Chains A and B, each alone.
Chain A
Amino acid sequence: MKKITKTLFALMLIFALSPLVKAQTEGYQIGDKATDFNLKSVDDSWVSLSGINGAKGAIVIFSCNTCPYVVAYEDRMIDLHNKYAAKGYPVIAINSNDDKVSPGDSFEKMQERAKDKAFPFPYVYDKSQDVIKAYGGSRTPHVYLLNKEGDDFIVKYIGAIDNNYQDASAVTERYVEDAMDALLSGNKIAVETTKAIGCTIKWTKAE
């Protein structure tokens, strides 16, 4: 009898823990509530979702300094911010790369990159990698479009910025802009998730 209780208890524990494990490896789905964060930006200010005045949401982009796809998209990230920040949806770029594994992604290098490109949006460092793990970001650039509903930030779109990293003028599908425009006009977002080739996250190695 004792044995059965023990087994049952173990099974219950596994079932209780499995959603946690799943959440860590898979991150958010469309409709999930995104966790807030408080991360230091390149201007030494602290940035959180709830701390942005007048925000109706945010275009959160997992980014970095060193990925050629990010470099190809930086000007388009600036354009997205310039187009949608005034409407309540600023870009927040988050670098989650470990700077021991990828020295080019250190906070100082982030500051240099932000200055060189005159980023109009916050560029914050997720040094602990807690935020990217919660969101389920796996590559750079990786966009999470969030919409503020009550006090919650709800995930509305996950994926790529558009369908041509090489040439902005040859893009035929503007995934983030289409999602933003649908959201602003109260329509259903037609394409809620997309995939793109990107750079892996430089995860912190276990000591």
Chain B
Amino acid sequence: MQFKIKFSTSLKTAFTLFLIANLSSFVQREKPITETFKIITFEEFELMMNKDSEKLRVFNFWATWCAPCVKEMPYFEKVAAEYPEIELIFISMDDGRKPERVTNFIETRKVKSPVYLLNDIDYNKWIDKVSEDWSGAIPATLFIKADGSKLFHEGEVNESELRALIAGIK
């Protein structure tokens, strides 16, 4: 009997905590999704890539269905949050006909950095313009320094590999 009471109390506590956690994250979301998500063409991405910036810009190419991409995203957000000079931008390769897959992902995973869905599937026309070193596999990441120089990395990274990559170009 005592066990039963204890169990139900702890279940209640857990549920309350769960509610609070969800509520607080809901409150914490400063910006509506329309400000952090947009569907873009390659030309728009190219303008974004080529514009002047005083920051080290990190463009991470990913998709909601790509397990290694989803795994590495929190490392990018964590490291970017530590360095004010880094601007992190996620470029989604998801199906442009189903953007809700991306917006749902942003909300449930609480992605803070801006996400753009690059809606151009004529891949051979533009992959080399991002980097000739890119075979097309995702995840992949393009780093652009304030002086315009670029570094491209294809493949999944863990947190220490990401830190080493950033230390190497800073």
Interface positions, chain A 150-207, Cβ under 8 Å from B, are 159-160, 163-166, 173, 175, 194-202
Q: Are A199 and B66 in contact (CB under 8 A)?
A: yes
Q: Are A197 and B127 in contact (CB under 8 A)?
A: yes
A139 interfacial contact with B, CB 8 Å: yes
Q: Are B68 and A200 in contact (CB under 8 A)?
A: yes
Q: Which of B68, B128, B139 contacts A195 (CB 8 A)?
A: B128
Q: Are B128 and A163 in contact (CB under 8 A)?
A: no
B93 interfacial contact with A, CB 8 Å: yes
Chain A residues near B (Cβ < 8 Å)? 68, 102, 138-139, 159-160, 163-166, 173, 175, 194-202
Q: Which of B93, B121, B135, B138 contacts A164 (CB 8 A)?
A: B121
Rounded to whole angstroms, the CA-CA distance of A159 and B135 in the bound complex is 9
B77 interfacial contact with A, CB 8 Å: no
Interface positions, chain B 119-150, Cβ under 8 Å from A, are 121-125, 127-128, 134-139
Q: Are B135 and A163 in contact (CB under 8 A)?
A: no
Q: Which 3 A-B pairs have the closest CB atoms?
A: A139-B137, A138-B135, A195-B127
Given contacts A139-B136, A163-B121, A195-B135, list 13 more A-B pairs with CB under 8 A. A68-B65, A138-B135, A163-B124, A165-B121, A195-B134, A196-B123, A197-B123, A197-B138, A198-B137, A198-B138, A200-B66, A200-B68, A202-B68
Number of A-B contacts (CB under 8 A): 62
Which of under 10, 10 to 19, 20 to 34, or 35 or more describes the interface residues of B? 20 to 34
Rounded to whole angstroms, the CA-CA distance of A194 and B66 in the bound complex is 22
Main secondary structure of the interface of A (DSSP, over half): loop
Nearest CB on A from B19, distance (A): 34
* Chain A positions within 8 Å of B66 at CB level: 199-200
Closest to B65 in A: A68
